[in-house]
Structure 1
Amino acid sequence: MSRVSFPVPLVAGLAYGVAAGACWGVIFLAPLLVPDFSPFQLSEARYIAYGVMSGALLLPRWRSVAGRIPVKGWGGLFCLGVIGNIAYYVLVGAAVRLTGIATTAITTGFLPVLIAVFGMREPGALQARTLWPSLLLMIIGITLTGMAAFGHAAGGTSDWVHRAEGMACAAAGQGSWTGFAILNARWMRRLPDVGAGEWGLATGVATGLLGLAGLPFAGFGSGMHATSCWLGFIGVSTGVAVIASVLGGTFWNACSRRLPMTLSGQMAVGETLFALLYGCLWSDHGLSGVQIVAVILLIGSVAISAVAHRHL
């Protein structure tokens, strides 16, 4: 009986993808930790902090990195900052407030499917006939999880309206991040001399500048908050910036550099799984039987995809 062997870059890419998912899962908790602040205010604080930290880390090698990124590359970084960071986080934050962590995570869980489908035209991608078993398992798993989540709805008209609005925000965020994943992978292929960590920090600098530009519109002076609220807000925003933006972004870039998009895109399912885990820990409620089956299907879909990619 022959063994199934996996090349080191594939194993490393999968590990980086899991690490990125674990980091990104925390963004679903942030809106619930500081409910007195709007999703846009959370986004502004997170990305200004991200920009400051990225700039500080990049400063010692700024000339070297900046010299390897052309003018068009910086335009691409600002575009990535808008669609993959600011817009996505505002939409996810609004969705969590409206419909909760589980439903938001489930809706955005379709990201891997979209990325894999759109990534079929990218270099190193597999064809649909090879990917369909993995994609089918993923769709079934996410659908089951969604059914379980809506089964806990209160049933009132206002509750269903909020859920519909929340899912619309989550779906819009899904589209935003799909565009980010595809464009980010393309830019990294165009600039092979720029390391994954360097590209992530450069993205942070661009996003931080965008955050500063939007600061006058954040409405920080329109409400009165206690000192403890401000301290909690600063702590949560900074923590999310470090964990989700700096670490998560670096892990994701390393994953994208080692895996074809059809596989790296599916690794984004880790964000959904970790978000569900963190949501259970926060609410002190375990997963239902249907949700456990869905999680097994989601993990199985990525495992099948990994086996299909082992010879690339």
Structure 2
Amino acid sequence: MTASSDRLWGVASGLGAGAMWGLVFLAPKFAPEASPLLLTAGRYLAYGLIAVVLIAPRWRRLAPLIEAGTWRALVWLSLAGNLVYFAFVVVAVHLAGVAASALIVGMVPVVVALWGLKDGGGPPASRTAPPIVLAAVAVGLIGWRALSHGHGVSGGPTGIQTLIGLGCALGALISWTVYAVGNSRWMARLTQVSPHDWSLLTGVVTGGLALLLAVPAALTTQGWTGGAWLKLAGVCLGVALFASIIGNALWNQASRRLPLTMLGQMIVFETVFAFVYGYIWEGRGPAVIEILAILMMIVSVVWCVRAHGPAPIAEEPLH
């Protein structure tokens, strides 16, 4: 596979992951009665069960490839990129709304790309800084428009609630940045493990950790009817399948094919799709300023691809 086609598949995988992950921001809207702890436990228990079923036929081949240090890495990656991140997102969406949450989490591309500039083999900052700045401006435009129109919980959040929601969105930003960087570097080390298998291993570990949340999460369901449980099960299974199984597998493909500075730009797609899904949920189309911001994001990604030139990605190792 040539370097250009490798990059193309990496970008396509990043776009697909963004489309799947954007659904995460709607999960609290589909099941508003579920607590953040319950949604987190339910989603990742479902993820873990699906991962166990899918990985079982290949377990004998995979087990010798995973050392103790790798298991430890899977634990903290599962916490940072799944349990902690999603719990923060659920609280943020409830208290600050989809728009504000997607705005802050949408700054992940900027933070990851800036972090990635420290890696050897990447292009100079003079080539990557303009698309990074463009992405930041685009996210700022979308956020400014959304926040100026107000968006919060039913009846309107208090100032303290909104502040807590924004703080949780910031926590999600930090948590996912740590995951994105760490996951990319572990993927580069474990070339003998396929992106799909790495996603399933992460799912198995995440599911095990989610078991620890099951009992306290169940305490938040007093008075629930059978219909509420069915809705919760549908939301958890749907998010687990599309966002966790499919989305993570696509992201790991992108992580293996793209350098970190470029990989950070791919996370922009999650923000774009989160807003698109939000428009569908609210039954409206994007405003002119929102269309402009989305176009700026797309230009930012294309610009970043070109900034990396024709050099083979295999010659740009992540450390």
Match of 2:44 in 1: 47
Match of 1:224 in 2: 223
Q: What one-letter code is carried by the residue in structure 1 that aligns with 2:138?
A: G
- The correspondence of residues 206-225 of structure 1 with structure 2, limited to 5 A, is 206-220=205-219, 222-225=221-224
Match of 1:56 in 2: 53
Counterpart-to-counterpart distance in 2, 1:205 and 1:299: 34
Q: Contact (CA 8 Å) 1:255, 1:264: kept in 2 or not?
A: yes
SS in 2 for 1:271: helix
- The correspondence of residues 68-107 of structure 1 with structure 2, limited to 5 A, is 68-107=65-104
Q: Contact (CA 8 Å) 2:97, 2:151: kept in 1 or not?
A: no
SS in 1 for 2:224: coil
Q: What one-letter code is carried by the residue in structure 2 that aligns with 1:302?
A: V
1:115 is the counterpart of 2:112: yes
Deviates more, 1:150-159 or 1:201-210: 150-159
Q: State the Cα deviation string for residues 51-72 of structure 1 (Å, max 9, x = none).
A: 1110110001102111111110
SS in 1 for 2:267: helix
1:233 is the counterpart of 2:232: yes
- The correspondence of residues 285-300 of structure 1 with structure 2, limited to 5 A, is 285-300=284-299
Match of 1:26 in 2: 23
Structure 1 unaligned spans of 5+: none
Counterpart-to-counterpart distance in 2, 1:17 and 1:285: 26
Distance 1:9 1:160, change over 3 A: same
Q: Contact (CA 8 Å) 2:99, 2:147: kept in 1 or not?
A: no
Distance 1:78 1:288, change over 3 A: same
1:242 is the counterpart of 2:241: yes
Shift of 1:124: 3.6
Counterpart-to-counterpart distance in 1, 2:156 and 2:17: 37
Q: What one-letter code is carried by the residue in structure 2 that aligns with 1:68?
A: L
- The correspondence of residues 95-174 of structure 1 with structure 2, limited to 5 A, is 95-153=92-150, 158-174=157-173
Distance 1:163 1:69, change over 3 A: same
What is the identity percentage for the equivalent residue pairs of Structure 1 and Structure 2?
38
Q: What one-letter code is carried by the residue in structure 2 that aligns with 1:131?
A: T
Q: State the Cα deviation string for residues 249-295 of structure 1 (Å, max 9, x = none).
A: 00000000000011111100100000000000001022122111111
Q: Contact (CA 8 Å) 1:41, 1:220: kept in 2 or not?
A: no
Distance 1:186 1:228, change over 3 A: same
Q: What one-letter code is carried by the residue in structure 1 that aligns with 2:67?
A: P
Match of 2:6 in 1: 9
Match of 2:315 in 1: none
Counterpart-to-counterpart distance in 1, 2:160 and 2:289: 24
Q: What one-letter code is carried by the residue in structure 2 that aligns with 1:83?
A: A
Q: State the Cα deviation string for residues 6-42 of structure 1 (Å, max 9, x = none).
A: 7110000000000000000000000010011111110
Q: Contact (CA 8 Å) 1:123, 1:260: kept in 2 or not?
A: no
Q: Contact (CA 8 Å) 1:115, 1:261: kept in 2 or not?
A: yes
Q: Contact (CA 8 Å) 1:81, 1:207: kept in 2 or not?
A: yes
The TM-score, its normalising length taken from structure 2, stands at: 0.93
Q: What one-letter code is carried by the residue in structure 1 that aligns with 2:211?
A: L
SS in 2 for 1:146: helix
Match of 2:180 in 1: 181
Q: Contact (CA 8 Å) 2:45, 2:211: kept in 1 or not?
A: yes
Q: What one-letter code is carried by the residue in structure 1 that aligns with 2:125?
A: A
Q: Contact (CA 8 Å) 1:153, 1:159: kept in 2 or not?
A: no
Q: What one-letter code is carried by the residue in structure 2 that aligns with 1:51?
A: G
Q: State the Cα deviation string for residues 175-206 of structure 1 (Å, max 9, x = none).
A: 00000011101111111101100101000000
SS in 2 for 1:194: coil
Q: What one-letter code is carried by the residue in structure 1 that aligns with 2:188?
A: R
Counterpart-to-counterpart distance in 2, 1:284 and 1:13: 32
Counterpart-to-counterpart distance in 1, 2:73 and 2:27: 28
SS in 1 for 2:197: helix
1:193 is the counterpart of 2:185: no
Q: What one-letter code is carried by the residue in structure 2 that aligns with 1:81?
A: S
Q: What one-letter code is carried by the residue in structure 2 that aligns with 1:241?
A: A
Distance 1:100 1:310, change over 3 A: same
Counterpart-to-counterpart distance in 2, 1:46 and 1:68: 27
Counterpart-to-counterpart distance in 1, 2:294 and 2:176: 22
Q: What one-letter code is carried by the residue in structure 1 that aligns with 2:53?
A: A
Deviates more, 1:158-167 or 1:88-97: 158-167
Match of 1:205 in 2: 204
